[in-house]
Structure 1
């Protein structure tokens, strides 16, 4: 599996951003990114660096992707699992940081967690509804 194909998989399955969004963030045309991902064009080092940052790939994983091209499906499967775990940890940390920066929200969530199960589900539904309304009005 080539570096280009691994990065395409990473963008689609791990980071879950469209080719158009990724191209915009990389400051290139979507057709150019398509050519990179399909191996029709060589990936320049500056684009590789930007991909590492935009796709939030840690240094060790990135080096493994760039330096180790393999066709061993078991190795790829294990690497994919590790990548997913690292991305999930990074996303969890972002949520934790957000809650720490917003103590009122954190306290509300803490108090909700103490509710009995029957009231908890209703509270969660109402909370999600309020968040959706707030998001609409924030636009």
Structure 2
């Protein structure tokens, strides 16, 4: 498996996100993601580490694909990698909710709102988080 195939595989099968979402994570255009996943050429060296992290590809596997060594699909162990990503995310959110109990309450309330109110409330929470992140 070459780098472009590995990128596409991880985005679709491990992270289950769109090219648009990956483009947001990397702060690049969706067409750039499409190009990288299609042919894997023209990726600047400064982008490689960012891509490895955003796609959450283990470094040895990423390096193997980068240097065009053959990668067998069975070696990917996708189920185990998905599990480790989920566990890392869970620990992050567990800490976040412990640090900010009001955030946990607000998110919990979303489950009991009608769709219109839930969408409005979720947008407001997202805007507050973005504003907080831009200040810190």
Query: Normalising by structure 2, what TM-score?
Result: 0.64
Give the aligned partner of residue 112 of structure 2.
Answer: 129
SS at match of 1:28: coil
Q: CA deviation at 1:19?
A: 1.0
TM-score of the superposed pair, with normalisation by structure 1: 0.63
Task: Identify the residue that residue 45 of structure 1 maps to in structure 2.
Answer: 45
Q: For 1:38, what is the secondary structure of its paired residue?
A: helix
Q: Contact conserved, 1:4 with 1:43, CA < 8 A, in 2? A: no
Deviation (angstroms), 1:87: 1.0
Deviations 1:60-111 (A, max 9, x none): x1232222543433223x2x223212211111112211221134677x8xxx
> How many pairs were matched up?
117
The answer (yes or no) to whether the contact 1:8–1:37 under 8 Å persists in 2 is yes
Can you give the 5+ residue segments of structure 1 that lack an aligned partner in the other structure? 109-123
Q: How does 1:1-139 map to 2 (within 5 A)?
A: 1-39=1-39, 41-55=41-55, 57=56, 61-67=58-64, 69-76=69-76, 78=77, 80-103=78-101, 128-130=111-113, 133=117, 136-137=120-121, 138-139=123-124
Q: 1:105–1:32: structure 2 CA closer, same or farther, 3 Å change rule? A: closer
Greater Cα radius of gyration, structure 1 or 2: 1
